[in-house]
Amino acid sequence: MLKSLSVLAGMLIATLALPATPWAADPDPRDWDAVLAEARGQTVYFNAWGGSENINSYIGWAGETLNQRFGVKVIHVKLDDTANAVAKVLAEKAAGKNEGGSVDVIWINGENFASMKRQNLLMAPDWTTGLPNWVYVDHENMPTILTDFTIPTDGLESPWGGAKMVFFHDTARTPADSIPHSSVELLEWSKDNPGRFSYPQPPDFIGSSFLKQVLIETIEDKSRLSQPVNAASFAEDAAPLFAYLDDLHPNLWRGGKAYPQNYPDMKQKLADGELDIIFAFNPSEASAGIAAGELPDTVRSFSYTDGTLGNTHFVAIPYNATAKAGALVLANFLISPEAQLRKQDPALWGDPTVLSMDKLSAEDRAAFAALDLGVATLTPDELGPTLDEPHPDWMEYIEREWLRRYGVAN
Amino acid sequence: MTGDMRLARLAPPLTLAILLGPLFFGLAGTALPAFGYLPELGGEKFTTQHFSALAAVPGILRSSVLSILIGLVTTLVSLGTVAAFVASDLGTAGFARVRRMISPLLSVPHAAAAFGLAFMIAPSGMIMRLISPWATGLDRPPDLLIVNDPMALSMMAGLIVKEIPFLFLVTLSALPQTRHMETMRLGRSLGYGRIASFTYLLWPPLYRQIRLAVFAVVAYASSVVDVALILGPHLPPTLPVRLITWMNDPDLSIRFLASAGAVAQLGVTLTALLGWVGLERLGALLVCNSRSAGRRLRRDTVLRHGARAVMIASAAVVFGGIAMLAVWSVSGLWQFPDALPSSFSLRSWTQALPRMSGPLQTTLAVAGLSTLIALVLTILCLEREYETGRGRGGGALLLIYLPLIVPQISFMFGLQVLSIWLGVDASFSALVLAHLVFVLPYVFLSLSDPWRAHDRRHDLIAAGLGMSRTRTLVRIRLPMLTRAILTAAAVGFSVSVGQYLPTVLIGAGRLTTVTTEAVALAAGGNRRAIGVYAFMQTLLPFFAFSVATGLPGLLFRNRRGLRV
Amino acid sequence: MTLDNLTTHQGLRLSGIHICLGDRVLVALNARVLRGQTLTVMGPSGSGKSTLLAYLGGFLDPAFEATGRVFVDGVDLIALKAEKRRAGILFQDPLLFPHLSVADNIAIAIPETVRGRRQRRALADAALEEAGLAEYGDRDPDTLSGGQKARVALQRVLMSQPRLLLLDEPFSKLDAGLREQTRQLVFDQARRAGLPVVLVTHDEEDAHAAGGQVHEVGPA
C-alpha cells in the first residue's frame, strides 16, 4: 500500500515538475511610468515578520498610502519566521509554480537573503538602483547597504532600514557607572550579578547576533570573518568564543538551562526585574518601550566602546512574484523620505534611516532633525562604531556548534 | 419519499476520501524527502543517510523519549483525575457544579491556556506577585526555572489542565448510555466504595466508549507544537519543536533532516500509543486482581478529595490564566511585585482590533463551514452504519480517526506541496478542506457514541407510525440528540478555531485566522498583544460552547427526559 | 369481490415463517389472526420470540435469516418498507419521545393525509380525552405516571391507523393492578379498532387475557 502510494506520489512529482512555460518579462523600474501603470489594481502580498504591533501598524499605514496614491493594495502576511516565506517560495519552485507565486515582497536580510540568492529565488537582475527614490539612499557611507552579511546585494534587495546592537539597563536597579562597555566587561559584570543576564536562544536572530558580537571581539584574525568559514580551522578560530560562553553560562539567567525566546521576551523580563541588562537591534527600542508603557521610564541605553554589530534590512521580490510592478512601487515607497521619516519616529517604529541627510531637500532634512528620538535613545556618536556582520557561513557554523555544546543541558 | 437516505450511501466513501486523501499524500510527500527524494533540492536517489544524520543530532534521543513520556504522563494524569472524580462525585450536587465549571474549559485553545499558565506560575507570574514581598521578602522575581523546565513538568501541567475538560466531556457524553445510577447503587449495596464500584462495574464499558478519544490525547500530547513552544523545555526541546525549527531553517537542505524527523515523529507517537496499550493491559490486570479479591476499597476519601482538588485546580488555573491574559491586554506598566498594573491602557486593543476583522471573518467562515460539512457527513455516515447494520467494531469508518492519531506535523509539509501542485493553496475551499481533515474526526468522535447508544426502539416506533427514515431522522432522532449534536458542533468549531499549522500552510499566509495572528504575535513575546489575541481566541469557542450547553436547556426547558 | 373473498383476506396471515440465526431455528410458524383477535407467542427470555416482531415490523437485524410470507388484509407486508407497513408496536417501555409534549407525541402519529395544524391537534386532544388525559396535552411526557405513559403510547399507536398491532411484553413493567387494567384497555381498543394483534410474552396471564391462540417458542 505504502509502496504503491509513494510510486504514485513520485509520478505526480514527475508530471508536475515538467518545465514550466517561461514567465513574462519583468517590469523595468527605469521605465517608472510603465511600472506605475501596471501596478495599478494589483495586490501585493508583503511577507514580513508580524511579531511587533508597532511594525504591523507601520506596514498598515504604508499599505493604505499606496492604495490611495497608486491604487496598489498591500496585504501584510504576518510571519513568525521569515524562513517560512523562503520555504514557501522554495515549495512553489519545487511544484513548478514559476509564476503567480504567493509571495510578492519579502522582508529579508543575511542568512535568508544568502539562501534565496544562492537558489535563484529572487527577481533579477539589479532592480533596486533603478528605483526613483534610490537617489536618496546613503550607499556611499553605509557599506551594509551594498553588502548584506558580506554577500553583495547585487541590486536584488532594496534597503529598508538600519539596525545596530544596543544594550539597555534600568537605572533604578543598575547604576550607570557599573555597566559594561565590552564583552569582556559583560562577563565580569555577570559574575557580580549572577542570573541577571541572558540572550535569546539561537537560532533566534538577536541571540545569534550576540554570539557574533562576542565572536568579532574575541577572534584573533578578524579578516577571517569576511570569508566563508574554513572548516579545518573553525574549531581554533571559534575557540575563544566558546571559552567565553563556557565562562558566561553558569551565571546566566536560570543558569543557562533556559533562554528568553526573543527580544520582546527579554524586554518583558527587564520590566519584570528578571533581567538587568538586555539588548536589541534597534537603538530606539528602549524609548519606544517606555512610550508604550512596557518599560519603566528609568531604562537607558548604552553601547560598547569599540563598537557593536550593525546591519541593514531589506525588501526583496521573489522570482515568481505575481505583482512585481506593485512590489516595485512598494519598495520604492519604503525608501521615500516620507516613509523613512515615519520609520525613524520612535513613537511609530524608531528604526534608523538608510537615507543620506545630505541628499535630502532642506525641508526633509529639517523634519528628520526635528524628530524626538526619546529619552533613552543614544545620539549617533554615543552609539559608537559599527562592526560589520561576518559571512553568513559563520552564523551557521556557530549555531550548529552552540547546539552541539549547549543544546542538551546536563 | 422513496429512495430517501440515498445520500447516506455516498457519505462513508466521501468521508474517507476527504480524510485519508490528504493524509496519505501528505505522508508520501514527507516520506519521499526523508528517504532522500526531492529533486528540486538535488535529492535524486533514495538513501537512508538522512536518518543517520537524524540519529547523530545531539539530544535527539532525549527529545524523542521526552515526547513519548509527555504523551503517556499527560494522558494518565488527566484520565485518572477524570475517572476518579466521576467515580467519587457522580450524582451529587457538587458534580453538577464542577461540571458547569469544567465544561467551558474545553473551549479554551491550548495556546491560550498555556500562556495563561505561564503568566501564573513563572517566577515573575501572578502567584509569586501575590505572595511578594510580604511572604517571600522578594522585590525581584527569584531566579528559578519553573516554566520551560527540562523535565517538561510545566508543559505537562499545561496539557493536563486542557485534556481534563476534554476527557471529562467525552466521558460525560458516554455516561448516559450506561445505567450509571443503578450500577453505582448496586456496587455500593454490595459494600464496595464509590471508587471501587465505579472501577469494577462502570468503568470497563465506559472506557470502551471513550477509548479512541484517549488515544487521540496520547497522540496529541506526544506531538504538540504550540504548548511545547510556550511551556516546554528548551535544552533540548521536544521532538515536534525541533522539527518546526528545522522546517523553518533557511538552509533548505535541512528539509531532508526535517522530513526524516517527521517520519521519526510517527514512530514516537506510535511508541507512545503502544505504551498506552501496555498501560491499559496493566490497569486491566490490576483492576481484575483487585476485583477478584473482592476488595471493597471503602476508604477512598483521600483519592476522592485529591481528584476533586485537581479538577477544581485545573479549572482555576485556566480561568485564572484567561483573567491574566485579559488584564495584561489592558495593562500599562506592570512591574514586579505589583499584583496589579500601575496603569491601564486600551492601546493594545485599539492597535489590534482594526486589523482583526479580516482574520475574524475568515476564522468564523472556515470554522462554521467545516463544522457544518463535518456534521452533515458524520450524521449521514452514522445513518448508513445504522442502515447496513454494521456496528462500531467493523467497517472502514475506524479509519476516520487516523488524522487524530497521525501527528499533524508528519504530513503537513507533504500536504503543503500537494496543495501548491493542485493550485489550490490560499483558496478558501482548500482551507475549509484542510480544516475538515481535523474537524471531521472530532465531530465524529463526539457524536458517534451518543448516536449509536440512542435507543433504537424510538425509531422502530416511528416506523410503525408510518414515518419514513428521513422523517424519523428529522423529527425524532435529531431533536432527541440535540445536545450531542450541538456539543459535537462546538467541538468541531473550536478545533477549527485552534488550527495553526494547516491554516499557515494551506492559507499560505493570505488567509489568516485569529489563531495564526496570535501565534505570529506570540513570536514577539509581547504579553499585552498575546493577551488581546489569546483572549479573542478563547472567546470564539467559548461562545460556541455556551450555545451548545445553553440552547438545549432552553429548547427543552420543560423536558425532563432530555436532561442528562 | 365477493363477501367470502373479503373475509378470507381479512386479518393477518403468516405462512411458512422461518427465522434462523445461523443453524438455530428461532421461530417456525403458520398462523391466521383475524381482526380483533390475538396471537400470543410464548417463550422464555432469550428464545428469540421478539425476532418475530422485528420481522413483522420490518427491522430484523441482517444477522438473522428469515423466510415466509405475511399478508394483512391481502397486502404483502414483507414487500413493503418498515414505514409503509403500518405495523404499530408497543414495547415494555412506553418510549414517549422525550423532546415532544404529550399531545405532540400523539400528533406525530397522525397520517400525513390529515392536514392543518389545528385539525391534527384536535385529533390528538380527542385521543387524550379518550384516554382520560385531557388536561395533559402540554405536559412533559417525563412527568406522567407509568400508567399514564402507557395510555399515551397506546393512543399514539392507534392514531397512526395501523394495519396490525405488535406487542412486545408491553405489560411486564407495570405493577399488578395497573397491569390488569392496561391489559384490558389494550385488548379492548384493539378489538374495537379491529386490529389483528401479535403479542410476545412470557407471562401466562397475558396469554389468558388475550384469549386467542397461543404459539410456544422453545427455550434457547
Do B461 and C95 count as a contact with CB atoms less than 8 A apart?
A: yes
In a domain, B54, yes or no: no
B abuts C (3+ Cβ pairs < 8 Å): yes
Binary contact (B561, C83; C-beta < 8 A):
no
CA atoms within a 13 Å half-sphere pointing along the CA-CB vector of B465: 30
Q: Are B35 and B50 in contact (CB under 8 A)?
A: yes
Domain ranges of chain A: 26-162+311-369, 166-310+386-406
Average pLDDT for residues A297-305, to the nearest whole number? 94
Facing residue for B558 by CB, picked from C82, C83, C140? C140
Q: What's the gap in Å between the CA of A358 and the closest CA on chain B?
A: 35
State the residue for C-alpha cell 455500593. B188
Whether the per-residue pLDDT at B390 is higher than 80: the answer is no
Residue B36, in any domain of the structure: no
CB-CB under 8 Å, B40 with A60: no
Give the C-alpha separation, B28 to B46, whole Å. 14
Residue B415 is assigned to a structural domain of this protein: yes
Residue from the list B461, B480, B556 with its beta carbon closest to the beta carbon of C89: B461
Provide the CA A241 distance to its chain's centre, in angstroms: 23
CA distance B479 to chain C (A): 7
Mean pLDDT for A80-84 is 80
Contact B248 A87 (CB under 8 A): yes
Q: Assess whether chains A and C touch, using the rule of 3 or more C-beta pairs within 8 angstroms.
A: no
Substitution target in B25, B238, B248 with the highest count of A β-carbons within 10 Å is B248
Nearest chain B residue (CA) to C88: B464
Q: How confident is the model at residue A85 (pLDDT cuts 50, 70, 90)?
A: confident
The answer for C219, left when phi > 0, alpha when psi is -120 to 50, beta otherwise, is: beta
Tell me what the mean pLDDT of segment A130-143 comes to. Answer: 92
Does the beta carbon of B40 lie under 8 angstroms from any beta carbon of chain A? yes
- Comparing alpha-carbon positions, the chain B residue that sits nearest to A84 is B248
Q: Please give the pLDDT value at position B347.
A: 85
Q: Is the pLDDT of residue C2 over 50?
A: no
**Chain A contacts of B27, Cβ < 8 Å?**
5
In a domain, B189, yes or no: yes
Distance of CA A407 to the CA centre of its chain: 24
Locate B492 and state its grid cell.
Answer: 468541531
Least confident of B10-14, B109-113, B185-189: B185-189
Angle at B155 between CA B152 and CA B158, to 5 degrees: 155
Q: Identify the residue with better confidence: B510 or A364.
A: A364
pLDDT value for A267: 92
**For all residues of chain A together, what is the average pLDDT?**
88
Using a pLDDT cut of 70, give the percent of chain B over it. 93
Closest among B516, B358, B490 to B434, alpha carbons compared: B516
For all residues of chain B together, what is the average pLDDT?
Answer: 85
A186-242 pLDDT tens trace: 999 999 999 999 999 888 889 999 999 999 999 999 999 999 999 999 999 999 999
- Given A53, A84, A396, which is nearest B248 (Cβ)? A84
Tell me which CATH code domain A26-162+311-369 carries: 3.40.190.10
- CB contact under 8 Å between C97 and B469, yes or no, is no
What is the architecture of the domain spanning C3-98+161-216?
Answer: 3-Layer(aba) Sandwich (3.40)
Tell me the pairing of strands A386-387 and A308-316.
parallel
Q: How far apart are CA B231 and CA B148, in angstroms?
A: 5
Mean pLDDT, to the nearest integer, of B539-558? Answer: 82
User: Each residue of B205-234: pLDDT tens digit?
Assistant: 889 878 888 998 999 999 998 889 889 998
Q: CA of A172, closest CA in chain B: separation in Å?
A: 12
DSSP C32: E
Q: Would you call B544 helix, strand, or coil by DSSP?
A: helix
Confidence of residue C57 (pLDDT cuts 50, 70, 90): confident
Dihedrals phi, psi of A267, to nearest 5 degrees = -60, -45
- The CATH code for residues A166-310+386-406 is 3.40.190.10
Task: For residue C219, say if its preceding peptide bond is cis, omega within 30 degrees of 0.
Answer: no
Alpha-carbon distance C55 to nearest alpha carbon in chain B (angstroms): 12
- Residue B397: the pLDDT is 52
Residue B114 lies in a domain: yes
How does pLDDT run across A305-341, given as a tens digit for each residue?
Answer: 999 999 899 999 999 999 999 999 999 999 999 999 9
DSSP for B336-391 reads TT-SS-SSB--HHHHHHHHHHHHHHHHHHHHHHHHHHHHHHHHHHHHHHHHHHT--
Residue B50 has what pLDDT?
A: 92
The total domain count for chain B is 1
pTM of the model: 0.75
Q: How confident is the model at residue B94 (pLDDT cuts 50, 70, 90)?
A: confident
Of the residues B40, B120, B245, the best mutation for testing chain A's interface (the one with the most A CB atoms within 10 Å of its CB) is B40
Q: What distance, in Å, lies between the first and last C-alpha atoms of chain B?
A: 34
Secondary structure (3-state) at C25: strand
Domain ranges of chain C: 3-98+161-216
B413: helix, strand or coil: helix
Chains B and A share 3 or more Cβ pairs within 8 Å: yes
Residue with cell 521619516: A341
State how far residue B343 is from chain A, nearest Cα, in angstroms: 8
Closest by Cβ to C97, choosing from B458, B466, B469: B458
CA atoms A82, A88, A93, A98: torsion sign: negative
B52 in any annotated domain: no
Nearest CA-CA distance, residue C13 and chain B, Å: 18
- Which domain CATH number covers B293? 1.10.3720.10
- Distant-in-sequence, close-in-space partners of C206: CB < 8 Å, separation ≥ 6: C40, C169, C171, C183, C199
Q: Who among A9, A85, A294 is closest to B28 (CB)?
A: A9
Query: pLDDT band at residue A183, thresholds of 50, 70 and 90?
Result: very high
Mean pLDDT of A292-311: 92
Q: How confident is the model at residue C8 (pLDDT cuts 50, 70, 90)?
A: low
Confidence class of residue A409 from pLDDT cuts 50, 70 and 90?
A: low
Amino acid letter, residue A165? M
Q: B465 and chain C: CB distance < 8 Å anywhere?
A: yes
Per-residue pLDDT reduced to its tens digit, A389-405: 999 889 889 998 998 89
Which whole number is the average pLDDT over A366-382?
86
Whether omega before B233 lies within 30 degrees of 0, making that bond cis, reads no
Cβ proximity of A226 and A237 under 8 Å: no
- Cell of residue C51, nine digits: 425476532
- Residue A284 is given by DSSP the state T
With 60 as the cut, is the pLDDT of residue A8 above it? Answer: no
Instruction: Residue B145: list chain A partners with CB under 8 A.
Output: 254-255, 257-258
pLDDT reading at A9 higher than 70: no
Contact A51 B32 (CB under 8 A): no
pLDDT of residue A82 exceeding 70: yes
The residues, any chain, with a CB within 8 Å of residue B415's CB and separated by 6 or more, are B22, B25, B26, B29, B434, B502, B505, B506
CA dihedral C43, C44, C50, C52 (to 10 degrees): -30
The closest of A327, A400, A318, A352 to A161, measured between CA atoms, is A352
Distance CA B339, CA B318 (A): 18
First to last CA, chain C: 45
What pLDDT, on a 0 to 100 scale, did the predictor assign at position B525? 67
**Which of C62, C84, C98 is nearest residue B559 as measured by Cβ atoms?**
C98
C-alpha cell at B5: 437516505
Residue B46, C-alpha cell as written in the block: 533514495
In angstroms, what CA-CA distances link A134 with A336, A359, B242, C96? 9, 10, 41, 82
In 3D space, the residue among B269, B39, B302, B71 whose CA is nearest the CA of residue B195 turns out to be B302
Chain B: residue whose CA lies nearest to A79: B520
Strand stretches in B360-470, DSSP E: none
Of the two residues B459 and A181, the one the predictor is more confident about is: A181
ipTM score? 0.80
> Which residue range(s) make up the domain with B14?
7-31+60-554
Q: Does a cis peptide bond (omega within 30 degrees of 0) precede residue B407?
A: no
Cβ separation B466–C100 shorter than 8 A? no
What pLDDT, on the 0 to 100 scale, is given for residue C112? 79
End-to-end CA distance of chain A: 43
Percent of chain B with pLDDT over 90: 25
List, in sequence order, the alpha helices (H) in A198-233.
205-218
Chains touching A, CB cut-off 8 Å, 3+ pairs: B
Q: Which residues, 6 or more positions from B460, have their beta carbon under 8 angstroms from its beta carbon?
A: C54, C57, C59, C82, C89
- pLDDT attached to residue B300: 78
B480 touching chain C per CB within 8 A: yes
Chain C neighbours (≥3 Cβ pairs under 8 A) are B
> How close, in Å, is residue A396 to chain B by CA atoms?
9
Nearest CA in chain B to A270: B335
